[in-house]
Homo-oligomer: A and B are copies of this chain.
Amino acid sequence: MEAYFDNSATTKCYDEVKDIVMKTMMEDYGNPSAMHQKGVEAEQYIKEATERIAKTLKASEKEIYFTSGGTESNNWALMGAAMANRRAGKRIITTVIEHPAVSEPVRFLEEQGFDVVRLSVDRQGLVSMEELEQALTPETIVVSTMFVNNEIGAVEPVEAIGKLVHEKCPKALYHVDAIQAYGKYEIYPKKMNIDLMSVSGHKIHGPKGVGFLYISEKVRINPLILGGGQQKGMRSGTDNVPGIAGLGAAAQKVYGQLEANRAHLYGLKRYFAEQLQSLDEVIIHGMPVDEGAPQIINAAFLGIGSEVLLHTLEDRGIYISAGSACSTHKRSKSPTLTAIHAPKETLDCSVRFSFAEDNTKEQIDYTMTVLREVLPVLRRYRAH
């Protein structure tokens, strides 16, 4: 049996995504900037994808800008917002548990002279609203938090954060890294006080190499990539029609079955968590099962190095992650686990299981059978 439980790293494309990518590579392959019919046809795919995505957010089509993925979206949002507003102030507020696609651009901006505040989180991974309130000075121009943490599935109080940001600092922009949340939650930026929001295609069964940045029509940021003036001059470069069309198809499908998917994911998560809790020396990190994100369980198997467990499971066809797996082969300690003050003995032996709608209870049964078999063996070699 095979059990791919690394869906927060990347997902398999939907068939509908494959079909539209094929069609736009081989038949309707025009350049949307071309004035002739083949350009107009290609542009139609962009328009349709934009409509599909805007609908999932109850947003205007003018607020969707396509990028090469979540990392570019995050970079653009942070650099673009900081640069556009640098005369209004220098403070950027973020958290200690951001993905490197946020924390690295923030570090760069800090080197350029911006004043960065990194909010701490509690043991569940939730941002402190008190710390945020104190940090929100009149010089604050950008606040950036995750929606769902990629390592432990903590779900941040985005709507409340946005409300506080806008009340205390009407000029500050609130950016949300929603890469692990889009496709799992209803997200309505206007209602939730979000000004900028980053999304990636390949986390929702869409193509790799494409994502979008939601930019509220009320705000203005600088472009990151300049050139031929595509996307209203905000993101130049020949539109990636297959990627964009594929992303639109994935967004439509995932939001068409959102509640059923979520129920299925929580069913799997609960089922797995219950059985994990029946094992000795297993600690599940983060929020209570029903409050954390539906697709992520992060658990420590005490005494077993996370990479050892990862490779043991992959030999049995079970694919999981040690660390966030979004950083390239990093072996350093997880910043999220450190930030939530996870018990020291869990830091080197925590792994992430992340589910998608095509995972089954049978795969979890199989995984439990394997775990019950291998854990005692692996613990024989435990380091003391």
Residues of A within 8 A of B (CB): 4, 6, 9-13, 17-18, 21-22, 25-26, 29-39, 67-72, 74-75, 99-102, 104-105, 107-108, 200, 202, 207-210, 224-230, 236-243, 307, 310-311, 314, 319-322, 325-330
Complex CA–CA separation, A322 to B34 (angstroms):
8
What's the least CB distance linking A29 to chain B, in Å? 5
Contact (Cβ within 8 A) A326 B33: yes
Asked whether A227 and B68 contact (CB < 8 A) given A9-B31, A238-B208, the answer is no
Contact (Cβ within 8 A) A17 B25: yes
Residues of B within 8 A of A26 (CB): 12-13, 18
Contact (Cβ within 8 A) B68 A209: yes
Contact (Cβ within 8 A) B202 A238: yes
Contact (Cβ within 8 A) B29 A9: no
Contact (Cβ within 8 A) A75 B226: yes
Contact (Cβ within 8 A) B328 A237: no
Contact (Cβ within 8 A) A238 B35: no
Chain A contact residues: over half helix, strand or loop, or mixed?
loop
Asked whether A319 and B38 contact (CB < 8 A) given A33-B329, A237-B70, the answer is yes
15 contacts between A and B (CB under 8 A): A6-B38, A9-B31, A10-B30, A17-B25, A35-B325, A35-B329, A36-B310, A36-B319, A39-B325, A68-B69, A69-B240, A101-B226, A105-B227, A202-B238, A208-B241
Nearest 8 A-B pairs (CB), nearest first?
A209-B240, A68-B68, A71-B237, A101-B227, A104-B226, A10-B31, A228-B327, A9-B31
Residues of B within 8 A of A241 (CB): 208
Contact (Cβ within 8 A) A228 B328: yes
Contact (Cβ within 8 A) B326 A101: no
Contact (Cβ within 8 A) B227 A37: no
Contact (Cβ within 8 A) B225 A75: yes
Residues of B within 8 A of A226 (CB): 75, 100-101, 104-105, 107-108
What's the least CB distance linking A201 to chain B, in Å? 10
Contact (Cβ within 8 A) B228 A326: yes
> With contacts A69-B238, A209-B209 known, what are 15 further pairs, Cβ within 8 A?
A9-B39, A10-B34, A13-B29, A21-B25, A34-B325, A35-B325, A71-B237, A75-B226, A101-B226, A101-B236, A104-B236, A202-B238, A208-B238, A229-B330, A238-B326
Residues of B within 8 A of A31 (CB): 6, 9-10, 325-326
> Which residue, A11, A34, A243, has most C-beta atoms of chain B within 10 A?
A34
Asked whether A238 and B13 contact (CB < 8 A) given A6-B36, A36-B314, the answer is no
Contact (Cβ within 8 A) B33 A9: yes
Contact (Cβ within 8 A) B209 A242: yes
Residues of B within 8 A of A237 (CB): 68-72, 101
Contact (Cβ within 8 A) B105 A307: no
Asked whether A328 and B100 contact (CB < 8 A) given A21-B25, A71-B237, A310-B35, the answer is no
